[in-house]
Structure 1
């Protein structure tokens, strides 16, 4: 399949599948820009990898492209990846979060948090307990959790390290005594300490994001809500926004600022109660 005609073949296939001319034109425009970026790096469009897609998403963000524009590029490349028979390369690609100015992230109330932690501990599954505490007390994304290796946890220094696909450390997150305790309990229970992945399934395969989501459904919670709770608790305790952004791995400080709007609402309510 020659590089000069692969986009033409792709666009023809989209027309045959009933895509509108406007949609096909958008896809082609995205792919031509992606192709130009790849060519500068001596990479062929029909040989793209997951890492290429992630680096291109990062490049778009560095170019100050908006979240909506980045999502448009991602959608077009996803369709193209499916055309190549390589849909898997689009899984867990990090990209700029789309903001809704009026949207306040949904987080757990204290009593809800205590209930979930109590239930998961009562079930007695050391792995699941460690997962819930790690998500809630470090704020890492579900994809980052599933990518963790045993050597990403330093129980001596009480730190968890999030790495990129090249194995470089993106950020280190201090571990509280609670999450440290449950990670120790879980790691001590591992029968094969020489394995790479931290969290594995019952068949000893690295745990998938879908499996974690399914497990959390039992406790009526999702990974996003646990991550939001982590950020909200830090903001509520007076931790500055830049520190919270660094711990959460937010590339856009405006994402972090949403959590502060909860405090602003509470302050307004306090004034109204006291002086009305």
Structure 2
């Protein structure tokens, strides 16, 4: 038990570094903490009392054990990524001289495509939502903005009035995932919905709050409330799929890629640090691909049948 701090103290130092210096969100820091603590507990069971003593072969045993317990390849991949980051930090502060996770691979993951809406489903959701009442007008603007700009839930909830620039038809996202700012374009439908919302809000004399989206009491609308409102409209309009913010972000990414094919541009709009994250949105209906192939490839064009 006296050796336990040799594992726990550096881990806590790493978590503090993530929160204070890299300014990662609390959710992300908690995820790193959960994964690294799982390894720490296993090391203690194996009588490994210092991070320097963990070898790649032992880490592979740990990963194999997780796989046998039924953990998904995706979860193990995430855990190994956290461990690699942890060891990079330990090397940086000269506590260890190697990274045992560098050569350890997670089991192959089955690529799951994110469920998304097609254009007609999104249009039905947005066009059928009225903009007459205070709440409906606000909800319509929220959904239009999700689909127009591909925002994350936390990013939309954090928007302030000053972040919207109608003249330039753009909005500012401050400290998105990874603490990065970015500027996003807004479509004409989203701009119109936002202007309607701000007019409705002014009619209610709710002009003191700096938040862009507020409750009828003038408080900033929270992430849970936004989720509930989108689910409400999805059920009301009879959509077969559950409507939640990330699904509208998926729709934004998928439809942009299908129309433009510009992976780098969509990566920037989504705020992805790694382009491989954006690549999961490159799925296109096979029938569409077949039509493009038939019409474009010089040796694949279908001949007229006589």
The alignment's TM-score, normalised by the length of structure 2, stands at 0.58
Shift of 1:114: 1.6
Could you tell me which residue of structure 2 aligns to residue 189 of structure 1? 200
Could you tell me which residue of structure 2 aligns to residue 13 of structure 1? none
Could you tell me which residue of structure 2 aligns to residue 251 of structure 1? 273
Distance 1:56 1:213, change over 3 A: closer
The 3-state SS of whatever aligns with 1:67 is helix
- The total of aligned residue pairs comes to 216
**Offset from partner CA, 1:206-233 (integer Å, 9 cap, x none):** 1111101111112321111100000011
Could you tell me which residue of structure 1 aligns to residue 127 of structure 2? 118
The answer as to 2:216 corresponding to 1:202 is: yes
Could you tell me which residue of structure 1 aligns to residue 284 of structure 2? 262
Q: Distance in 1 between matches of 2:24 and 2:277?
A: 24
Shift of 1:121: 2.5
Could you tell me which residue of structure 2 aligns to residue 107 of structure 1? 116
Could you tell me which residue of structure 1 aligns to residue 228 of structure 2? 214
Distance 1:69 1:206, change over 3 A: farther
**Offset from partner CA, 1:120-164 (integer Å, 9 cap, x none):** 126642111110100111110111110111111111111111001
What is the RMSD computed on CA atoms of the aligned residues?
4.0
Which of 231, 237, 256 pairs up with 1:234?
256
Could you tell me which residue of structure 2 aligns to residue 172 of structure 1? 183
Distance 1:123 1:70, change over 3 A: farther
The 3-state SS of whatever aligns with 1:189 is helix
Distance 1:115 1:247, change over 3 A: same
The 3-state SS of whatever aligns with 1:106 is coil
Which of 36, 43, 64 pairs up with 2:13?
36
The 3-state SS of whatever aligns with 2:181 is strand
Contact 1:104 1:262 in 2 (8 A): no
Contact 1:162 1:172 in 2 (8 A): yes
**Offset from partner CA, 1:58-99 (integer Å, 9 cap, x none):** 999xxxx953446789xxxxxxxxxxxxxxxxxxxxxxxxx9
Structure 1, unpaired ranges of 5+: 9-27, 44-49, 74-98
Q: Distance in 2 between matches of 1:116 and 1:58?
A: 33
The answer as to 2:154 corresponding to 1:143 is: yes
Distance 1:188 1:34, change over 3 A: farther
Contact 1:160 1:174 in 2 (8 A): yes
Contact 2:145 2:190 in 1 (8 A): yes
Q: Distance in 2 between matches of 1:203 and 1:169?
A: 31
Could you tell me which residue of structure 2 aligns to residue 22 of structure 1? none
Could you tell me which residue of structure 2 aligns to residue 78 of structure 1? none
The 3-state SS of whatever aligns with 1:183 is helix
The alignment's TM-score, normalised by the length of structure 1, stands at 0.64
